[in-house]
Amino acid sequence: MRPDFPVEPGLWHGTERNTRDQERKRRLLDAALELYGTQGYRATTVHAVCQSARVSTRSFYELYADQGELLTRLYLDLNNEVLDAIAARTVLPAADALSAVKALVAAALGPMLEDERKARVLQVEVVGVSQALARERRLTTRRMAAAVDAAFDDIAAAGLIEAAPKGLTSLILIGGITEALVQRVETKPSQRESKAEFIEQVAQVIVRMTGTGTPR
């Protein structure tokens, strides 16, 4: 018999509509990380992302307005990962400033040192794309600076450094480390320092910047 009202099953292959959408989004984000992080955002087409994610372009446009939106989501997700890493670092009972800072640096850079694609998306691919993304980047960078400031407050409270840096210091720190990381990623793996060495060097610069030395 013919129902004279629309049927709304919602279920499909045993899963809810919402779940299915989430799943597709996850696949798209994975594909985006892979493609944007290796070939670059500019060199990636909607078609390619969809193919890599095994999602139809049709579905793509049901989930995102355009590729820019996908990039933005990926950017925000990766950023949250880093922010979480910074926030979640245990303020372990470090003996001195250097080891405390090293732990912090290792936590913050962890995701990007582990997975270069993340570094590339986070620091290269989102630049100069759109007005909206530039704004997002500005805000995010400030959030990051705030997180760094908070971390240093903790270290200062533990008496390991004289005073937490303020003003432009954390911003310069973030930009600087970012640049160091970009240079590292753009260097052939064969001629890079080890991760540990890299973290050590970065930590030393930071300690000097935030140490007890007074400008004269």
Under the rule (CB under 7 A), what is the footprint of DNA?
Answer: 1-4, 6-14, 17, 20-21, 24, 45-47, 50-51, 54-59, 61, 66-67
Question: Between residues 38 and 45, which has the closer beta carbon with respect to DNA?
Answer: 45
As a whole number of angstroms, the longest Cα–Cα distance in the chain is 90
Dist CA 20 CA 43 (whole Å): 28
143 contact choice in its own copies, DNA, none (CB below 5 to 8 Å, kind-dependent)? none
CB of 37 to DNA, least distance (A): 17
Dist CA 115 CA 216 (whole Å): 41
Q: Decide if 123 contacts 177 (C-beta within 8 A).
A: no
User: What is the CA 206 to chain-centroid distance, rounded?
Assistant: 21
Positions in the binding site for its own copies (CB under 8 A): 40-42, 96-98, 124-125, 127-129, 134-135, 138, 141-142, 167-169, 171-180, 182-183, 186-187, 201-202, 204-205, 207-216
Dist CA 175 CA 208 (whole Å): 17
CB of 31 to its own copies, least distance (A): 19
132 contact choice in its own copies, DNA, none (CB below 5 to 8 Å, kind-dependent)? none
CB of 165 to its own copies, least distance (A): 8
CB-side neighbour CA atoms (13 Å) of 200: 5
**12 beta partners:** 15
CB of 5 to its own copies, least distance (A): 49
CB of 83 to its own copies, least distance (A): 17
For residue 111, which amino acid is it?
P
**15 beta partners:** 12
127 contact choice in DNA, its own copies, none (CB below 5 to 8 Å, kind-dependent)? its own copies
